[in-house]
Homo-oligomer: A and B are copies of this chain.
Amino acid sequence: MRVLGVDPGLTRCGIAVVDGGTGRSVRCVAVDVVRTPADAELANRLLAVADALEDWLDRHRPDVVAIERVFSQHNVRTAMGTAQAAGVVALAAARRGLTVAFHTPSEVKAAVTGSGRADKAQVTAMVTRLLGLTEAPRPADAADALALGICHIWRAPMRARLAEAEAKATELARRHKARLAQATSNSPKGTKQ
């Protein structure tokens, strides 16, 4: 499975392509950070991020686009810009019919370090180790995008099992309801079989 991980942002947007192999093996295909000038118009900054993403989708043909889910940040203005960048990334992927998955920062940290509250240095160290890189990816946004890719690859089997279990539960509930409805519709007639 090939995953394009995105740590969304306007000032710096981390983009990485990670391949999943057998077992837990993961490989870094490409990683970079897209930057847009802080003094540019918001719409043009979003366009620059979208254009860069389209280019990466063309070049690397991922199966899935995994995006960091933004909840809130100290700076509301930054959070809004980040959410907007995430929105244009999700849109580009949806236009191509790709699966789009969102992972929270703590899910990503927990996946690569074992702790949802790990700091940036720890995430970078583990990403470097897990991907067998000769040097640590910089800046932190690049490491985060790689961590997102790894997180998605490792969580994908669990997500698939969960989805399967949910589908089974829904089907069981449907059958149970149908039997109940049948029993209720029979009972007023007082017919016992």
A residues near B, CB below 8 A? Answer: 41-44, 46-47, 50, 70-72, 76-77, 79-80, 83-88, 90-91, 93-95, 100, 102
Complex Cα gap A41–B94 (Å): 10
When the two chains form their complex, are residues B42 and A100 in contact, meaning their CB atoms are under 8 A apart?
yes
Complex Cα gap A84–B79 (Å): 11
6 smallest CB-CB distances across A and B, nearest first, come from: A84-B87, A83-B83, A87-B87, A43-B100, A43-B94, A43-B90
Q: Could you say which of B72, B91, B93, B94 contacts A91, with CB atoms under 8 Å apart?
A: B91
Interface majority SS (helix, strand, loop, mixed), chain A: helix
When the two chains form their complex, are residues A46 and B91 in contact, meaning their CB atoms are under 8 A apart?
yes
Complex Cα gap A77–B71 (Å): 7
Q: Could you say which of B84, B94, B95, B100 contacts A83, with CB atoms under 8 Å apart?
A: B84
Shortest beta-carbon distance from A45 to chain B in Å:
9
Of all chain B residues, which has the CB nearest A93? B43
Of all chain B residues, which has the CB nearest A102? B42
Complex Cα gap A165–B24 (Å): 61
When the two chains form their complex, are residues A43 and B91 in contact, meaning their CB atoms are under 8 A apart?
yes
